[in-house]
Amino acid sequence: MKKKFKCEIDCANCAAKVEDAIKKMDGVIDAKVNFMMQKYTLEADEARFDEILKESVLVGRKIEPGFSVEL
């Protein structure tokens, strides 16, 4: 399953770090954090999508405390 969300992130470098960390998570097929568009795209295992989404936001906040996603 693939979904797009509006997000807030402060810089392009932070977006790249958050994206890399989320891509390494179990169940994640692909992830994109676009600083310019303030968009977060997550492609993950459909059966666990909501769980993976919540966990990915927490992972993002550990790297960039200002990272937020409108669910």
Calculate the CA 42 to chain-centre distance.
Answer: 6
- For residue 60, which amino acid is it? G
Torsion-angle region of 29 (φ positive above 0: left; ψ -120 to 50: alpha; else: beta): alpha
Rounded to a whole number of angstroms, the distance between the first and last alpha carbons of the chain is: 15
pLDDT in tens, 7-63: 999 999 999 999 999 999 999 999 999 999 999 999 999 999 999 999 999 999 999
Name the CATH architecture for the domain at 2-69: 2-Layer Sandwich (3.30)
Query: What was the pLDDT predicted at 29?
Result: 98
Query: What was the pLDDT predicted at 71?
Result: 85
Tokens of 71: 């669910």
Q: For residues 9 and 18, give the distance between their C-alpha atoms in angstroms, rounded to a whole number.
A: 9
Tokens of 19: 């994206």
Q: Where are the domains of the chain?
A: 2-69
